[in-house]
Amino acid sequence: MPVAKVAGLSGVFLLCLQGMTRYSASRRLSIVLILLSLSSAFLFAAPEYVTVYAEKGAPDRYDFYADNSHSMPLYVTVNLPEVWGLSPETELPFHGMVAAESKHTLLFSLRQLPDQRKVGYRLAYSFAFGNPLTAGHDDSLLYLFPYEHATKRRVSQGPKGEFTHTGDNLYAIDFEMPVGTPVYTARAGLVVDVVEHYSAGGTSSQYGPRANRILIQHSDGSFGNYVHLKQNGSVVTPGDQVKAGELIGYSGNTGQSSGPHLHFDVRLPMRDGSMQSIPVKFRAAEGKAVSPEKNGIYYSYHPGGPPFEEHFGKDITDADYGGYTRTVAQTNSLEFRTEQEDLTYVAFLANGYDRDVDVEISFSLSGLTTSARLPLKVTVPARTEIFVAVLHADPSRNSWQFQPRIRYWR
């Protein structure tokens, strides 16, 4: 039987069957698989995990079976959008578990109606990890932030984000991360699926199925979903048991993505065969529960990690740099530079001349504010760098820009 090679956890397939009285010597029906559509979810499984097919049973019956090559049971959903001259012996769509590493599991049958010469159907099926009949979630549980202890990350897209956090991704969280940042488990569990061969990413939805990812099943039947990892960026394999706070891979920018980050969500398998993200809370300082929001910046606290002090850019003021100067090399130029802390920028100006320079400094700002009185008029000593201003970004904005304007006399 020809198999469509496509990566999709919820891939939907169209099965066209003509002349149902003709079937192969193995009694499996001769069929053609044509790709109809793909789920837009971040979770995708290799299509060879589950195959659904029909075989001729009794003279007037056609039996549907499933093969599962995965090492864990999978939940299968089968539907017949159109049927001609046949009647199902069970209510459709069919939902059921298929045992791990099993073949020829009987799902349901169709019986041919009397005096019907033309018979056929269209078959659509999907499969998902987990058992929706037993899976649950303790909402009081606190997850670890999925990055190194004592480090902080900004949330670039929170739950219900307009870019991609809709539908089954509704409660996902995107943490801004440079490519190659270590990724740690937010909760202990069993690694059930790893994809790491993709190399590209972009904002187009065509990249959606091409994200490297790690899927971890928790003890209650829910799943932790870590997405957009770098190519060959996993250090775990299916079947590994991992503890909370354990290194599992490295962040990247694969799949549908507007920039390097880690997509994380917790999912529950649903009775319709989908996997729906759910809201969860994370562990902050002293075990406090937090619900991350867009542009929020959060430190990671892992049990047993050494104590540390939190530092946030929003707390920086001009007073922190009162009297700041630094000797610089002679360059015969003025050099403007900034240091960034979270969404805060600290600006400096260096005089590389061998004599004092009178300067007037102002800024063109978009989405940022400063407490400095501008324009700033100051004499910069020879071969000296001075502090100029602190610029704070408005966290409610999606973008920020600043352009310094410097006039000087020497």
CATH number of the domain at 287, please.
2.70.70.10
In a domain, 5, yes or no: no
- Count of the separate structural domains present in the chain: 3
Residues 146 and 292 in one domain: yes
Q: Is the separation of the CB atoms in 78 and 52 below 8 Å?
A: yes
In Å, how far are 252, 273, 294, 307, 410 from 182, measured between CA atoms? Answer: 10, 32, 21, 20, 49
pLDDT at 38: 27
pLDDT at 272: 84
Domain CATH number, residue 35: 2.60.40
In a domain, 277, yes or no: yes
Residues 193 and 282 in one domain: yes
- For 268-284, the pLDDT digits (tens) are 999 888 899 999 999 99
Task: Pick the range with the lowest mean pLDDT from 53-67, 97-111, 382-396.
Answer: 53-67
Range of the domain at 390: 315-409
In a domain, 307, yes or no: no
- The rounded distance, in Å, linking the Cα atoms of 220 and 226 is 18
SS3 at position 9: coil
Residues 250 and 347 in one domain: no
Residue 5 has pLDDT above 70, yes or no: no
CB atoms within 10 A of CB 200: 11
What does the block give as tokens for 179?
A: 């490519």
Residue 1 has pLDDT above 50, yes or no: no
Residues 23 and 113 in one domain: yes
The last residue of a domain, from among 270, 299, 328: 299
Residues 169 and 266 in one domain: yes
Residues 230 and 362 in one domain: no
Confidence band for 165, pLDDT divided at 50, 70 and 90: confident
Residues 238 and 154 in one domain: yes
Residues 151 and 111 in one domain: no
Instruction: Give the β-pairing of 94-98 and 74-84.
Output: antiparallel
pLDDT at 115: 82
